[in-house]
Amino acid sequence: MENRDFKILVVDDEVEYQNVLSIVFENCGYIVRTASDGSKALRILSEEMINLVITDLKMPGLGGQELVRIVKEKYPDIEIMIATAYGTIDSAVETVKNGAVGYFVKSDDLTKLVTDVDRLAKEYRKQQKTKKLVRQENFPEAFLDTSNKEFAAVLKTCEKAARSNIDVLLIGESGVGKEVIAHYIHENGGRKNRPFIPVNCQAFSSGTIESELFGHEKGAFTGALSQRIGRFEEADGGTLFLDEVGDLPMETQGKLLRTLENRTIERIGSNKTISLDIRLISATNKELSEQTKVGMFREDLLYRINALTITIPPLRERREDIPCLIDFFLKKIQTEQKKKVISVDEEVMTGLLGYNYPGNVRELKNILERLVVLSEDGIIRHSDVLPDKQIAERICSGAENIQSLHDARDFFESRFISKKLREYDGNVTRTAKELSITPRQLWNKINKYGLKP
Ligand SMILES: Nc1ncnc2c1ncn2[C@@H]1O[C@H](COP(=O)(O)OP(=O)(O)OP(=O)(O)O)[C@@H](O)[C@H]1O
């Protein structure tokens, strides 16, 4: 429903006025909370993500001016609007100077206040959108077109999963694109305008991962100098992506399980429960069922996170996509490096198509980045690649890297067909005749190996 992404906290010691504002704003679709003084308001602010506080100035206990000061210090992103009686306009103006966004005289027509709040909500959404754009920029554009049946089925399952709220476990070797796929699921679902928050569980020590995930209160432990919102809270309404979930320490696994069961968290150092609406996507390149057998991963957690498991095939098992991925990355890298690449010589291309990529799409991308650096006059030449031993060993050294008979056959076949096509000036019908196969069969192989007749 419109406006449900914007939460308002009304602070007033007059219960009737709290009720009036609650009814008015709830009718506009906003979520409204109420408090009768500053201290109660601060308690709610520490428990929930609030976007706007509308507060009276004169209240018993902690008053409005003091509340504005504390809120601006502790939660600088929260907007504050003063609702004041006619006699206290001067103090309201003073509060605006201290950080409130505006004031409203209680005896005035409420539609003015509604217009101001609508404007603030609109502004908030615009900022969220910009934040999302920045996140998108940080998130590289992906190529998710495929000629491979298995990968096509994976993408289809992801699209179905996206339409539901089901928790997904992605399994695949390092570099196959698990994060890319997680983002794809997020972007195809109803949460796409909400945050996508990735966390690499491997990147944090066992001492810091919980604070990263669940946040902490100021002074919760030595070094907790200020309050910190955890990744779970940041992802509220959106998707949390836990990469390398198999690397979570056992105690954190227990806490994660409880969080997923109750859909609530408690920041470290606080006993306040915060409710969250999260879609979880986890990823692993480990055999988690094996990890459960040796006591490294909780079995109950595994059952909780793998409501739907999607296995992403390694690049060597979807070789037909390599030519299009090469095209995609070369275009992207040219723009990034501001360097034109017009062609890749045949030997390099054959090497790229024949290599088995243990590091998957990440490795292909890294190799191409280096090839573009090495290119001269817009051409990636075999002779320019040779001095880069690491790359040359992978794509120029022929069959040494091939491990299976299947890959060896493909390697030989692609070179042989390429040679024959050259002999017949790229004429597919004549080359097919020479190879004793039909032109259709030859076209299939040309497409499979990304050859250019
Ligand atoms: N389909 C794709 N289109 C464009 N880039 C891709 C694609 N798949 C993977 N990549 C790129 O390959 C790299 C690795 O991708 P990603 O981080 O998603 O893999 P991963 O499986 O999560 O790896 P790890 O297990 O090491 O975390 C990234 O730079 C990503 O942009």
pLDDT tens digits for range 166-218:
999 999 999 999 999 999 999 988 888 889 999 999 888 877 899 999 998 88
Of all protein residues, whose CA lies closest to atom 25 belonging to ligand 1? Answer: 174
Q: Residue 65 in contact with residue 130, Cβ under 8 Å?
A: no
Longest dimension (CA), the chain: 99
Of all protein residues, whose CA lies closest to atom 13 belonging to ligand 1? Answer: 362
Q: Which of 137, 144, 180 to mutate to test the pocket of ligand 1 (most atoms within 8 A of CB)?
A: 180
CB burial of residue 323 (10 Å; 0-12, 13-18, 19+): buried
* Angle CA 206–207–213, to nearest 5: 80
**Higher pLDDT pick, 447 / 156:** 156
Question: Which has the closest alpha carbon to 349: 317, 385, 316, 387?
Answer: 385
Residue 123 reports pLDDT greater than 80: yes
Ligand 1: centre distance to CA 176 (Å): 6
d(CA 56, CA 83): 5
State whether the beta carbon of 285 lies less than 6 angstroms from ligand 1.
yes
Q: Which of 201, 315, 362 to mutate to test the pocket of ligand 1 (most atoms within 8 A of CB)?
A: 362
**Higher pLDDT pick, 88 / 306:** 306
CATH 1.10.8.60 residue ranges of the chain are 317-449
**pLDDT classification of 224: cutoffs 50, 70, 90:** confident
Residue 92 reports pLDDT greater than 90: no
Q: Which long-range contacts (CB under 8 A, 24 or more apart) does 65-71 make?
A: 65/91, 65/94, 65/95, 65/98, 66/38, 67/11, 67/38, 67/41, 67/42, 68/95, 68/98, 68/99, 68/100, 69/98, 69/99, 70/38, 70/42, 71/42, 71/45
Q: Residue 399 in contact with residue 411, Cβ under 8 Å?
A: yes
pLDDT tens digits, 386-407: 888 888 888 876 555 566 778 7
Structure tokens at 7: 């939460």
State whether the beta carbon of 365 lies less than 6 angstroms from ligand 1.
yes
Per-residue pLDDT at 308: 94
The mean predicted confidence, pLDDT, of the chain is: 88
**pLDDT classification of 19: cutoffs 50, 70, 90:** very high
Of all protein residues, whose CA lies closest to atom 5 belonging to ligand 1? Answer: 142
Nearest ligand 1 atom, CA 183: 18
State whether the beta carbon of 286 lies less than 6 angstroms from ligand 1.
no
Of all protein residues, whose CA lies closest to atom 24 belonging to ligand 1? Answer: 174
d(CA 281, CA 308): 10
Q: Which CATH class is domain 317-449?
A: mainly alpha
**Higher pLDDT pick, 332 / 98:** 332
Across residues 342-358, what is the average pLDDT?
86
pLDDT tens digits, 258-304: 999 999 999 988 888 888 889 999 999 988 999 999 999 999 999 99
Residue 27 CA neighbour count, 13 Å, CB half: 8
Nearest ligand 1 atom, CA 140: 31
Pairing of strands 7-11, 52-55: parallel
CA 166 from centroid of its chain's CA atoms: 16
Total Cβ atoms within 10 A of residue 371: 24
- 178-187 and 149-163 helices, crossing angle to 10°: 40
Ligand 1: centre distance to CA 363 (Å): 9
CATH 3.40.50.300 residue ranges of the chain are 139-313
Q: What is the ipTM of this complex?
A: 0.98
pLDDT tens digits, 241-264: 999 999 999 999 999 999 999 999
Of all protein residues, whose CA lies closest to atom 9 belonging to ligand 1? Answer: 177
State whether the beta carbon of 124 lies less than 6 angstroms from ligand 1.
no
pLDDT tens digits, 1-15: 578 888 999 999 999
Pairing of strands 52-55, 79-84: parallel
Ligand 1: centre distance to CA 226 (Å): 34
pLDDT tens digits, 33-50: 999 999 999 988 877 778
Distances (CA, A) of 405 to 399, 402, 413: 11, 8, 12
Q: Which fold has domain 139-313?
A: Rossmann fold (3.40.50)
CATH 3.40.50.2300 residue ranges of the chain are 7-127
Per-residue pLDDT at 213: 94
Ligand 1: centre distance to CA 145 (Å): 14
Ligand 1: centre distance to CA 394 (Å): 20
One of 3.30.365.10, 3.40.50.1860, 2.40.50.140, 3.40.50.2300 is the CATH number of 7-127, namely: 3.40.50.2300
